[in-house]
Amino acid sequence: MSLEIWSNLKLSLLGRIVAIKMNVLPRMLFLFQTLQIVDKMDCFKRWQKDISKFVWQGKKPRIKFKILTDAKEIGGFALPDLKLYYESAAFCWLKEWLLLENTDILDLEGFNNVFGWHAYLWYDKVKAHKAFRNHIVRKALFNVWLRYKDLLENKTPRWLSPMEAKALKKLNMEVKWPKYWEILEQDGDRLKLQSFEKLKNKVRDWLHYYQIMEAFKLDRKNGFQVERSKLETELLEPKTKNLSRMYNLLLKWNTQDETVKSAMIKWAQDIGHNIMFADWEQLWTTGMKFTACNALRENVMKMIYRWYITPVKLAKIYHLPDNKCWKCKETEGTFFHLWWTCPKIKAFWEMIYNELKRYLNIPS
């Protein structure tokens, strides 16, 4: 990777992250969008290691990788996660299998399919037709789908077409497959399959209708997705920006656990009261916009993520007997003490405060 040239430049932490975004990401995206054949996920770990090395300049990382990749709006650094980009690109391809509209692509990618696409995606037919996964692109895409299927659709999806799933595969089949959201109707507080009368134009005959009914009864056990799912609103419906929408969606799944909030919790413990997540978010959406200066912003972020090593940490790492604050030499040198409660630092902040007041002509 050409990162070696870049690493000789003197860039800040944020600068190095931007360098990844502008330099590495576009090239990888081109690859991901044209070739969906990454079989072993190990290579992502390797690439990520190289990137990490570059971002931290070979030193030990001081901020968790997940926090680095998280969205800026919730306090992340928006470092691209290549694996997630790869998977998002896969979903842009999978979109055709879910929508069933582009028959050219479907015929090409599914030339030797035995069942309908939805039979593979939802009804586990891969077990019955193993050759489905012998196809290099299909296998890679299908693996991505399996990884996220349950997260994205935990009930029977609205876009699922039992008609297509049950259809025998022929070339250039009809374009318009009826989806569940078009063939179900509300019956009191539950959903039922529309009557044969209503579906007459969508099914071949009575027998076909009963086949669909059988599928419906099975799917009912899983429950039906009533509202539009995120997969629909972010991937299936929009005509543009599918890749970035999908990336943001997968990113949310990937970072929703503790990660970002761990810094928030530590601060809450220090100041002795809860921090509402909404306030934390506001800090990043509006609070951080007070300056366009990158160096200043980087300082603030390092501060919030407790980037700096304290006497307490040093004492722990090197088994030192002394973990007292460097300034007052009395209290334990915790992060909070060093920056906020130390008497020396308090006097310092007060000095700055008074100076500012004097400059800005604010009467005391």
Contact between 33 and 87 (Cβ < 8 Å):
no
Window contacting Zn ion (CB under 5 A); options: 29-37, 118-126, 166-174, 327-335: 327-335
Q: Is residue 328 close enough to count as binding Zn ion by CB under 5 A?
A: yes
Smallest gap, in angstroms, from Cβ of residue 62 to Zn ion? 22
CB closer to Zn ion out of 218 and 303 = 303
Q: Measured from the CB of residue 338, what is the shortest distance to Zn ion in angstroms?
A: 7
Q: What is the total count of residues that contact Zn ion (CB under 5 A)?
A: 4
Q: Which is nearer to Zn ion, 288 or 328 (CB)?
A: 328
Report yes or no: 274 and 268 within 8 Å, Cβ to Cβ.
yes
- As measured in angstroms, the least distance from the Cβ of 344 to Zn ion is 6
Q: Site for Zn ion (CB under 5 A): which residue of 11, 31, 327, 339?
A: 327
Enumerate residues 6+ apart whose C-beta is below 8 A from 130: none
Site pattern 297..326 for Zn ion (x: CB under 5 A):
----------------------------x-
Q: Which is nearer to Zn ion, 98 or 312 (CB)?
A: 312
Least Cβ distance, residue 303 to Zn ion (angstroms): 17
Query: Is the CB of 305 or the CB of 335 nearer to Zn ion?
Result: 335
* Residues at the contact surface with Zn ion, assessed by CB under 5 A: 325, 327-328, 342
